[in-house]
Amino acid sequence: MTGVVKRAFRYRFYPTCEQAEQLTRTFGCVRLVYNKALHARTSAWNTERRIITYGETSALLTQWKRDADLAFLGEVSCVPLQQALRHLQAGFAAFFAKRAGYPRFKSRKRSRAAAEYTRSAFRWRDGQLTLAKMTEPLAIVWSRPLPEGTVPSTVTVSRDAAGRWHVSLLVETTVETLPPAEAAVGVDAGITSLVTLSSGEKIANPRHERADRRKLAKAQRALCRKHKDSNNRAKARIRVARIHARITDRRRDLLHKVSTRLVRDNQTVVIEDLAVRNLLANHRLARAISDAAWSQLRTMLEYKAAWYGRRLVVVDRWLPSSKLCSTCGQVAETMPLHVREWTCGCGAHHDRDVNAAKNILAAGLVER
């Protein structure tokens, strides 16, 4: 059985000097248009209690291009600018639906530099991608092939803080549903062990951030010593960003491997509904919790389970999984974090994390 899904394939690419200059200019124009549209919508509400629609911001964009001071907006493709307005509209829709906070202005230093091109703004021919306003195709490193016969519907070009260029190609493709499996597994997220399975297996947490902490601290100290707006400071900032990028890449790679393995081997995966934002209030554990990236693991499990015909069950966060005896069902009065093993009154001896994973699995199977 197959299902049609939209998937984004991300690749590194190396632009020429002219392409890098053109893309940098596009990023700046996208940011400017987004911020001006956000300012217009905010001002209209604060002064007139009037909501500006997407269509009105599109008309404003046309006016801005006619302004002599903003004539440079016409030097880049109009599609990324129009997409910036659509992204702002989506942000307001999420805000009014109470799914997100109020849209914020994009910062040149802190915001991700990106531009989105739809089908009318790029040419895809013989496996080569050429963006609007460019004469040469992008030099993409094809680390993995696109699904055969697919054509990108949307292309997103970005540059991260470490100066790396990426292109993301959104395609519509089919995904083969995995054969049914009989196994079910409960997953308890942790810090010492990234996850503990109800089978008793523990997957170690490499703690990528802690492994590079000394190197990161040294680079950050060097950055602080550089004069503001100097070339040396810019180079030091890139060194810090590269260390952060290395940590992020290694963490994401591990989470992909763990989530793919859990989905492939089990028909039902049961996890706990953790309130990660609340847990981060514990300043002693906040750094380790952020490094574990539990929310990212859950996101991967959700879409991979949907792709491959598996079932992901999320149990209530208030389930006393650690204090509940998986043998007799008795709940211990207290269970401090430093207690890693305990013995129930029924005589059953438990590893704290394995016991929690078993209880999560049992609760998930009941909900099933």
Query: What's the average pLDDT block by block, 10 residues per block, for the chain (368 residues)?
Result: 86 97 97 97 95 95 95 95 97 95 91 93 95 96 92 96 96 91 94 94 93 94 94 94 95 96 96 89 89 95 94 93 91 88 90 95 85
Total domains, the chain: 2
Helices (H), the chain: 17-48, 54-66, 78-96, 208-211, 213-225, 231-265, 276-279, 286-292, 294-308, 352-367
- Considering the domain architecture, whether residues 19 and 130 belong to the same structural domain is answered as yes
Last-in-domain residue among 134, 149, 176 = 176
Count of alpha carbons within 13 angstroms of residue 184, beta-carbon side: 16
- Considering the domain architecture, whether residues 135 and 193 belong to the same structural domain is answered as no
Q: At what angle do helices 78-96 and 54-66 cross, to 10 degrees?
A: 150
- Considering the domain architecture, whether residues 352 and 322 belong to the same structural domain is answered as yes
- Among this protein's residues, is 316 annotated catalytic? no
**Given this model, what pLDDT does residue 368 score?**
57
Name the catalytic one among 116, 209, 272, 291. 272
- Considering the domain architecture, whether residues 221 and 269 belong to the same structural domain is answered as yes
- Considering the domain architecture, whether residues 221 and 162 belong to the same structural domain is answered as no
- Considering the domain architecture, whether residues 166 and 232 belong to the same structural domain is answered as no
**Given this model, what pLDDT does residue 1 score?**
63
- Considering the domain architecture, whether residues 169 and 189 belong to the same structural domain is answered as no
Measured CA angle at 194 (ends 188, 200), to 5 deg: 55
Name the catalytic one among 116, 209, 291, 353. 353
**Given this model, what pLDDT does residue 4 score?**
86
- Considering the domain architecture, whether residues 255 and 234 belong to the same structural domain is answered as yes
- Considering the domain architecture, whether residues 55 and 145 belong to the same structural domain is answered as yes
- Among this protein's residues, is 272 annotated catalytic? yes
**Given this model, what pLDDT does residue 278 score?**
87
- Considering the domain architecture, whether residues 161 and 190 belong to the same structural domain is answered as no
- Considering the domain architecture, whether residues 208 and 191 belong to the same structural domain is answered as yes
Last-in-domain residue among 176, 204, 232 = 176
This prediction has a pTM of 0.88
Question: Domain limits at 67?
Answer: 2-176
Name the catalytic one among 116, 188, 209, 291. 188
Q: Which residues pair with 117 in a beta bridge?
A: 155
Cα 280 versus chain centre, distance: 18
CB 356 within 8 A of CB 320: no
Last-in-domain residue among 121, 151, 176 = 176
- Among this protein's residues, is 212 annotated catalytic? no
- Considering the domain architecture, whether residues 342 and 237 belong to the same structural domain is answered as yes
**Given this model, what pLDDT does residue 12 score?**
97
